[in-house]
Structure 1
Amino acid sequence: MDNSTRHRRPGVQTVCGLLLLLFAWLPPAAQAQVGEQYTLAWRGTDLDQALREFQAASGINIVWLPLLAEGKKVYCVARSEPAEEVLKCILSGTGLDFYRRSSGTYVIEPSVEAPPLWGNMRGIVVDAGTGQPVPSAHVFLAEAQRGRVANTSGMFAFDRLLPGDYAVQVSHIGYRTTSLSIEIEPGGSVRPEIRIVAQPVLLAPLVLEGLAMRPSSTLLGFAMMDQEDLTGSLGPGGSALQGLDGLMGVRVNDATADIHIQGGDAGEHQFRLDGAPVFIPLNVASFIGPFSPFALGSIRIHKAGFGAPLGSHISGVIEARHDLRYGGARSGPDGLDGAFGYQSRTLVQGDPLSVNLRHSGSFERTDGTRGSLMAASRVGIWRLSAPSSLVGLLDDWNRIDSFLLSAFADRNTPFSEYPPLGSPEIGFADLHLAGEVKRGLSTLNASLFTGGSRLGNDLGGVSAADPESAVDDIAQFTDIYEWRSTTAQARYNTVLTGRTLGSIQARYSRYGLSHDFVARDLVTLASPEDDGNQMSEAAISAKLDYALADRHYTEFGLELIRTADRVRIAGSQQLPLDHSFTGWRTAVFAQDKIQVGQHAVVELGSRFTFLNARASLYAEPRLAVRLDFPGTRTGDWSFFAGSGIYRQFVNQFDVSSRSPRTFVSSTRFWMAVDSTVAPPKSGHLTGELFWRPTARWSLSAEAHYKRHYHILSIDYSANTDVPALDQDDFLRSSKGHTYGYAAVLKRSLGLGSADLRYEYTVGRRQIAGLFEGRLLDVPWNEPHRLELSANVMPMNRLVLLGRWRLISGRTWGFRQAYYDFMGAYLNDIDRVLDSVIDPGARARVQRQADYYELTNPEEHRLPDLIQMDVGAGYSFEVGSIGMQARLDVINILGRTNTADWRFFQGDGYFDDQSPTGSGILERGRRELLPRVVTFALRFSW
């Protein structure tokens, strides 16, 4: 056997050598002209075929052994290249090389030392139904044991992949796990577009917290709701923000619609829409929100311990994204409408408070360009169809406040019943436009939001300037607030290399407030009055995601921001102000993410912000650890721990109103930090876990501690009568802390679920010069919260919803303006009395402050808030039109819940006709929502 083998090898070598000589000595064909260039392309073509095609196109002689070309593919694009460069392109990644004989013939042979033939994969994950990118999708290569999390544009990249077939698994919350096979050629690059299919979504608000679908610590540290949750939330009007109250660690105030994240104030976080800040105006009651709920695709709330790329804010970040899904099936020939494949969906919904309209569409051209667009609008119809129970509630909120009337009247105005001559006025409207164009692995996205609201008193044409009007009729005044918010942005995302993803964004945000206040000279301090706030912010930012190695990723970013504000708060508020500022700041950030072993990921990052006004650099280091232990004996476990330093460079403030009506109780404005005050600073420490012992049961829990080293607060005792104030003239520093914990136990019920949630939160602040320097509970704190919610589907197309909640431990029970009025005199009752001009009013104020201890707000404990809401929704079709009917009953038990207390003249009070009374105004309550029944009808086609 050895002899035969030994004799066979020379025979094979001899034959191969003779063949090469034969091909080399064939009569030469026409040689390629010197300097001639070629433009050719092959994708997945056999090497043998590609060589023959190039030989025919160029006319040059090429010789090779068929055995060398067997099984090899060519991926080559040559544009105006000479012959040898084209040949290099053809042989790239095949392990072969060439040399040129003196006769001009090119000979193909194995490379002497072939390098590893690495390939790479750069792709995008999109929704199969809409073609929209799916952010944060998990992409896993089983053979390579490597994974990626897609960026915010759905893009991902793997480099240094050995040739072969890879089983790719893609998963995301709310989508079915998708598996497919992708072949990596030697030295090749593939750019797959992976489509994943959304899971069926119910009308019910299925709150997705932490890890509702796939155990992964990457989904901890924030809470999220998608459009179906936002539009399906219980409550009148379908406010886009009202449903956030169902998320762990998030509270939406029933009276003001303000959002509080883990005990933080309403101005300690930032709301963003498609990455651009939105300055949300003051509101009344939680049933009227700033956005059309049908314009938003999702809202994600980042809580304590959020990472460096998310910005500088001391409580959290709320990220909303426009919904560009068209929400319909393809139609027409070949599944397309029109020459360019346009497909669209239109939706209209009417409810007692508003009419919503949405149109969305997508298109795909023959050159591979794909796009989506969306337009949505909302118009308030309060005057036409507001439920009588809500009208009565706001009429009650609009009653004259006798205490403030005494405190700020220029003369001793006697108490009497002052029925309002008009009624509360509520108006709102907004418009959303968004679009996206995708070609290959590049995406251009742009959006615009503009919205306005109008709140105040409509006094039926009564003129305060009419000299014939009765002087003592305090009802004769105008008190109207108007807000306008506008946000626009454009963002470009692309895959730069097999390791690098890049994006650039330009954005602009604007906020405008106008408050017209006109009243009698003898009733208020001045007439007329006008408040205003103009706030604008423009920025350009860039970001790079770079894979240093497998399981090691780095993110870099740069932001250049210009902010301008103008604040004018007139005498109708408790603190007149006149301030303006324009300044620049530059921020850079870096975050490094390293996977340690099989179970841990460490995220280390920092932000550095240079504030031009103070010529100072502020550092914000951040650290987080994520742990995953799937498939243990006790189930799936995931953990998240985070900490860091957080600054805030744009701040929100509310100044209490002197208006004797309580309908709109304050003026809200924004300011960027100027040169006279340091930006607020806080430190975070947080932990979160998710445990799923079985497929039906899960437990989520979190705990947080936030140390507030420096927070800016309004100084009501400041002397602000001079123009062009600096911020240190009317702001003072406060400090304190917030801590708490929460847990949610979830049980799946077929296609529905039931949740049991408990939260405990403590927030305490110490403000220099106020309340004797004591550390007090914050006014917005709600220490104990217990909630039970469920959604079930008893039959096809019908969904039933229910929620019961208890809130206990609220303090600062009186109207905030009372405490701010006392704070204007550093809670010194003697200073308060000296400021009151009329002796009779001075006596009334003293009696109230002493009897009710207005300098001790922690003793003013409000009763527990208990409320039960139910709802039902039914979906059906009428021809080609999809319809949905919705019935909600808020506070079905009709329980009276208290927002705060206020003073009013009771039967026992004495005046000129009853000198033997108590002389004490009675304590009355401002109630929250009564029983409210609403019906909504939705059409889509």
Structure 2
Amino acid sequence: MTGDRQQYAITGNPSDVSRMNQNGHHTRCSRGQPSEGRHPFGTGICPRIRPRIRFCIPQHIRFCIRPRIRRRLPLPFLIPALLTLLVLVLPFGFGTGWTGTAAHATASPDSGLDSGSVSGSGSGSVLDSATGSVSGTVSDSGGWAHQPERLWSFEFRGEPLQQVLETVARVTENDMIYDPVMIEDVVIFRRIREQPMPRLLSDILADTPFDYIMLSSGTLVIVRKVTDEPAFGSFTGQVSDSRTGKPLQGATILLADATGGTATNSNGVFRLNRMISGSHRIIISYVGYHPVETVVEIRPDEMVRTEVALEPRPFTFTPMVVEAQHPDLAGIDNRASVQSLSNWDVAGGLRDPIRSLGLFAGLQYGLPLQDIHLQGGRQGEHRIRLDGIPVYNPYHFGHFYSSFSPLAISDVRLHKAGYGADEGSMLSGIIDFEHDIPSPGSRGITVLGDPVNANIRADISYPRHPVSESSRKYSREDAPPSRTGSTSDASGTPGASSTSVTPGTSGSPGGSYPTLSATASFRSNFWDVYQEPNLQRTLENWGYVDQILAENLLQGTGTIHSEYESLKQVTDLRYLDLHTAIRFEPNRFHTISASVWHGQNRIRMSALNRRYEGEMQNNYLYTRDDYRWRNVIGQVRWDASPGPRTTITTRAGFSSGRMDHDYHMFTRSTADIGFDFDTFLSPETMIRAMSSAAPVEPRHDGFNRIDHGLLSSGLQYHFSPRLRLESGLELNLVSSQVDFSAFFFLPTSSDETTFFGTAYSNMHYHPGRNWKITAGSRFTRLDSQARLFVEPRLSVQYDRVNSGIGYWSARLSGGVYRQFIHQYDITNVGPTSLVPSFTVWSHASADEPPKAYHLSGSWLLQPSSLTTLRLEAYYKWEPTRYISSPRSLATDIGFDRSSAGAFSESTRLRSSGFSARLHQLLPDPRLKLMLGYDYSRAEYRMSQFGRTVPVPWNEPHRIQARGIIDVYGPFSVIANWKSVYGRAWGFRQAYYDYLWVKGTRTIGGQFDFGTPENDRLPAFHQLDLSLRYRPSLGSLRVDVHLDLINVLNRRNVIDWSLKPAGMTATQPPQTATASGGVA
């Protein structure tokens, strides 16, 4: 039979009970073994009716009646029924065994009373952090209802309130009723010595939102306090790396009872405001670090400050990269922890912050001469920033590697499809790099060298020991017990615990101030001293003469009269970059930081070629390809927390980029230069002679300049632990200039200056422990257009901890995205060009800004601490976007040559894709594996073909595998495998963008440049290995590595070119190489 659940309330005298016809929640009766009777309760009013006993009169108390009771009971029958129920369950309270979490309790004689003992083992999930058990000591000689003079002693160390009440009821032999749902997630830390039962229970409930009443039968009823207005306090502090002391931006601070959370700012500082006074369990976590749980006592109208030092995870896997979906619950990790010297290891070649990004889902990078492409977008659709300042042309040697020193960069943050409104406006996403500023107390010099370049870094800070000796630190073994009742770290690794929490006093943070930290890094190559043979051969292979392009430029036709042979190539490769960064902290909650970066590089190749067939007139071909890039950025930032709810960030910065490209090309005969090359001149002498005699024409001159000044300010305000609002204002002044001479293209010159302002707002809301909602929008106005461009964005994330398949997290996001500064990739037409394209930046203020719609989803699964699976999918529709226009550059179609329309055109693009990453750790042997797959599809309309075609940069199928194995001690092996399938646009880009446009549409009747989607390249496969040796030499850190690139010696195809011999497609070979380095 079934019965209705009914609700009752006590009014006036506790024995005078009246019934209310509402349904209630289940509660539990405790005396000895928990009874099956369940009683729902509400809140009550708690006057003191006698000394030492707090007697609460509830407004309504709900009881569950047995199923057979279907009709209303008269009030006189209620109390007997309750007493009968208690008598039925009373015998189960006797005995020596229990199932609570109190693992050991003893009773000792007191005042000559009889002694007894109660003991048992706990079955709950909350255990002592050091021993895995809790204990309580009891002095007892009877029940309170019969002998109120008895005194009791208990000690509770992090036990849930439910288990505490069961223990007290069991040991003192008192009947107790409470709602287990109501008291869930409340933890008790209390030491009680020789207190009578009334004071004992009052002490236990003192720092909780509960009180108790005693019925006339002597049964204790736990109810909520409603006598006073809620009292609130605040909790604030800083989260840092335990080894370096560096503040951790974006660390998650979560209330274990699901009432909210927050994240640290750029200085690692966080604030939780309007926290109800009492004990709160706090979970502090950061990807790549062991999470920590601690219990904080919040007192009314006071602020509790603390310092939390998180311990990095013990082994290296990939660079420290933070993505948009980072779980808000402790114990979940979506990036690996690395040490500074090994941040950018990618098994082979050069250590480089940007090249390492190719390991991550949705990032397409790693093939020679290839740009970064983010989830199907072209290079110009994402922005690379350093310390929040945009960097234009952040590469050395074309696109071979970045212009950032690996010693200068710490973390990288990826903002892919569906990123938030506070990050910026770009069609595809943003990649943020941060300078690695040392923590106070860090000093030293780091040197890194390999056959290509040398790096040096110096750190200095003041004071040497910023943490005062009086600051008390305790490790996780000493900290309050975790929610899971285990001393394991979040990944489940037992014993991995050196995370520390430094509690400060209420009103005084720990540590010594002010502090000052500074770093400087310098990197340069030494090509004049030593030319690395493998790199030299690569340059020579890429600089061979393309016969088709040479004849077209010289003769105006694609017909090849004879072939050129290479006589000599002289290459000059120079680059350097300088990083400086400083941070000053006058106190814990104010920080001033500044940084400056300067990078410049130049690559120049002079080549001498000779005809060996056909006419001997103009039998020598001289080419010189010269590139110069220069970048400068600087920024000053101020972070402040003026109040317990507010964080302010203000930044002023400047970025400047320059690009110069000169291409000389002319022919000479022996009669013209007055001597015979074959008789007595060396190739070097010949090149110098022809270079000095180089005429003004024909040559190509390309110049691009962009200067960007910005001022921004942002505000974060915490309304509650659940709700945080962000807003900000950005002011931008951009000036750009583009200038092309008339050799490859028609003369083009554009010079523009634009001012635009952007305001944004963002809301972060936690409706519950598992949910996180972020909603916001950007509002931008250009000075040249009387319009307001709105970019609404939304993301929803759900985290599930205890499921049948383990932890999983799902995220869905999307929105509208604009772009106000545009990048154009101009195809390099030179027949001996080293770089396939060069980049120019512009901002056509009179045109409609490009627009994109994003929809993305991701799912993270962690079935165990050794396995992590991440799935991502995206769809992007760009109804308005701009690309470089070969037709506008090469043909006169009536465009104004002083506007951006002289080198650009509008188009539409659709892209979609899917990515999967599996990370697996095998403890024995110590092997870390990563398997990845990326699928990408992107198409746009090109005016030169008059139809929609696949984009040239797309890699439809990309497979990656990475393994790290610790062979023994300091010796390890790193292996990388990558395969790419389905690449189209197989010929040099100039064949499609120049020859086709100029009228040379087929060669030999069998090669058609009008169908790039049909020109499919063979699959690309490459295996790289790195052998590393890192011995321990006291304070000296040594890292020796040997890199083997393309160890299978595969002839991977970058692109095709044509030569006269049978009109067969050829390409420069790619061979196995080796390099090494010492750090």
TM-score scaled by length of structure 2: 0.68
Secondary structure of residue in 2 paired with 1:237: coil
2: CA distance between counterparts of 1:633 and 1:203?
Answer: 28
Q: Does 1:232 align with 2:345?
A: yes
Q: Does 1:894 align with 2:1049?
A: yes
Question: 1:937 is aligned with what amino acid?
Answer: V
Q: Report the counterpart of residue 27 of structure 1 in structure 2.
A: none
Q: Report the counterpart of residue 354 of structure 1 in structure 2.
A: 453
Q: Report the counterpart of residue 91 of structure 1 in structure 2.
A: none
Q: Report the counterpart of residue 1078 of structure 2 in structure 1.
A: 937
Conserved? CA contact 1:575–1:720, under 8 Å: no
Q: Report the counterpart of residue 515 of structure 1 in structure 2.
A: 661
Shift of 1:419: 1.5
Shift of 1:786: 1.5
Conserved? CA contact 1:509–1:536, under 8 Å: yes
Secondary structure of residue in 1 paired with 2:708: strand
Q: Report the counterpart of residue 497 of structure 1 in structure 2.
A: 643
Shift of 1:501: 1.1
Shift of 1:398: 0.4
Shift of 1:180: 4.1
Percent of aligned positions with the same letter in both sequences?
A: 28
Q: Report the counterpart of residue 755 of structure 1 in structure 2.
A: 930
Conserved? CA contact 2:319–2:343, under 8 Å: yes
| Alpha carbons of structure 1 residues 373 and 273: separation in structure 2 relative to 1, 3 Å | same
2: CA distance between counterparts of 1:142 and 1:736?
Answer: 45
Q: Report the counterpart of residue 612 of structure 1 in structure 2.
A: 783
Q: Report the counterpart of residue 392 of structure 1 in structure 2.
A: 537
Question: 1:121 is aligned with what amino acid?
Answer: F
Q: Report the counterpart of residue 255 of structure 1 in structure 2.
A: 368
Q: Report the counterpart of residue 711 of structure 1 in structure 2.
A: 881
| Alpha carbons of structure 1 residues 229 and 134: separation in structure 2 relative to 1, 3 Å | same
The one of 978, 981, 998 aligned to 1:808: 981
Q: Report the counterpart of residue 648 of structure 1 in structure 2.
A: 819
Shift of 1:414: 4.3
What is the 5 A alignment of 1:475-486? Answer: 475-486=621-632
| Alpha carbons of structure 1 residues 850 and 654: separation in structure 2 relative to 1, 3 Å | farther
Question: 2:915 is aligned with what amino acid?
Answer: A
Q: Does 1:702 align with 2:872?
A: yes
The one of 441, 444, 467 aligned to 1:345: 444
Conserved? CA contact 2:811–2:858, under 8 Å: yes
Shift of 1:226: 8.1
1: CA distance between counterparts of 2:767 and 2:327?
Answer: 24
2: CA distance between counterparts of 1:211 and 1:648?
Answer: 23
Q: Report the counterpart of residue 64 of structure 1 in structure 2.
A: none
The one of 313, 328, 334 aligned to 1:199: 313
| Alpha carbons of structure 1 residues 848 and 724: separation in structure 2 relative to 1, 3 Å | closer
2: CA distance between counterparts of 1:717 and 1:812?
Answer: 18
Question: 2:443 is aligned with what amino acid?
Answer: S
Shift of 1:868: 0.9
The one of 702, 718, 741 aligned to 1:547: 718
2: CA distance between counterparts of 1:509 and 1:207?
Answer: 24
1: CA distance between counterparts of 2:767 and 2:422?
Answer: 21
2: CA distance between counterparts of 1:265 and 1:742?
Answer: 18
Conserved? CA contact 2:711–2:731, under 8 Å: yes
1: CA distance between counterparts of 2:258 and 2:701?
Answer: 66
Conserved? CA contact 1:706–1:738, under 8 Å: yes
Q: Deviations over 1:426-461 (max 9, x none)?
A: 22110000111122211111111110111221469x
Larger-Rg structure: 2
What is the 5 A alignment of 1:313-328? Answer: 313-325=426-438
| Alpha carbons of structure 1 residues 532 and 510: separation in structure 2 relative to 1, 3 Å | same
Q: Report the counterpart of residue 1058 of structure 2 in structure 1.
A: 903
Unaligned runs of 5+ in 2: 1-47, 52-226, 469-511, 610-615, 669-693
Conserved? CA contact 1:209–1:248, under 8 Å: no
Q: Report the counterpart of residue 446 of structure 1 in structure 2.
A: 594
Deviates more, 1:114-123 or 1:350-359: 114-123
| Alpha carbons of structure 1 residues 224 and 623: separation in structure 2 relative to 1, 3 Å | farther
Shift of 1:871: 1.1
| Alpha carbons of structure 1 residues 764 and 485: separation in structure 2 relative to 1, 3 Å | same
Q: Does 1:150 align with 2:150?
A: no
Question: 2:1023 is aligned with what amino acid?
Answer: M
Conserved? CA contact 1:203–1:228, under 8 Å: no
Question: 2:592 is aligned with what amino acid?
Answer: L
The one of 225, 238, 242 aligned to 1:128: 242
Q: CA RMSD in A?
A: 3.1
Shift of 1:377: 1.1
Q: Deviations over 1:467-490 (max 9, x none)?
A: xxx982554243211000111111
2: CA distance between counterparts of 1:169 and 1:679?
Answer: 43
Shift of 1:575: 5.0
2: CA distance between counterparts of 1:706 and 1:847?
Answer: 34
Shift of 1:633: 1.9
1: CA distance between counterparts of 2:885 and 2:258?
Answer: 61
2: CA distance between counterparts of 1:145 and 1:555?
Answer: 20
The number of residues matched between the two structures is 772
| Alpha carbons of structure 1 residues 404 and 885: separation in structure 2 relative to 1, 3 Å | same
Q: Does 1:689 align with 2:847?
A: no
Conserved? CA contact 1:538–1:563, under 8 Å: yes
Shift of 1:213: 9.2
Shift of 1:387: 3.7
Shift of 1:203: 7.6
Question: 1:884 is aligned with what amino acid?
Answer: D
Shift of 1:190: 2.8
| Alpha carbons of structure 1 residues 475 and 356: separation in structure 2 relative to 1, 3 Å | farther
Question: 1:770 is aligned with what amino acid?
Answer: Q
Shift of 1:616: 2.1
Q: Report the counterpart of residue 117 of structure 2 in structure 1.
A: none
Secondary structure of residue in 1 paired with 2:990: helix
What is the 5 A alignment of 1:74-153? Answer: 116-142=230-256, 145-153=259-267
Conserved? CA contact 2:290–2:331, under 8 Å: no
Conserved? CA contact 1:650–1:671, under 8 Å: yes
What is the 5 A alignment of 1:55-74? Answer: none
2: CA distance between counterparts of 1:217 and 1:475?
Answer: 65
Shift of 1:931: 0.8
Conserved? CA contact 1:174–1:213, under 8 Å: no
Question: 1:848 is aligned with what amino acid?
Answer: I
Secondary structure of residue in 1 paired with 2:986: coil
Question: 1:500 is aligned with what amino acid?
Answer: T
Q: Does 1:295 align with 2:408?
A: yes
| Alpha carbons of structure 1 residues 227 and 287: separation in structure 2 relative to 1, 3 Å | farther
Secondary structure of residue in 2 paired with 1:422: strand
Q: Does 1:622 align with 2:768?
A: no
Conserved? CA contact 1:282–1:668, under 8 Å: no
Conserved? CA contact 2:327–2:799, under 8 Å: no
The one of 766, 776, 785 aligned to 2:941: 766
Secondary structure of residue in 1 paired with 2:834: coil
2: CA distance between counterparts of 1:655 and 1:144?
Answer: 53
What is the 5 A alignment of 1:916-927? Answer: 921-927=1063-1069
Q: Does 1:423 align with 2:570?
A: yes
Q: Deviations over 1:393-445 (max 9, x none)?
A: 22011011111112211578843324153333322110000111122211111
Unaligned runs of 5+ in 1: 1-5, 10-112, 327-340, 463-469, 826-831, 833-844, 909-920
Question: 2:1073 is aligned with what amino acid?
Answer: V
TM-score scaled by length of structure 1: 0.77
The one of 863, 876, 901 aligned to 1:728: 901
Deviates more, 1:244-253 or 1:168-177: 168-177
Conserved? CA contact 2:740–2:747, under 8 Å: yes
Secondary structure of residue in 1 paired with 2:245: coil
Q: Report the counterpart of residue 514 of structure 2 in structure 1.
A: 369
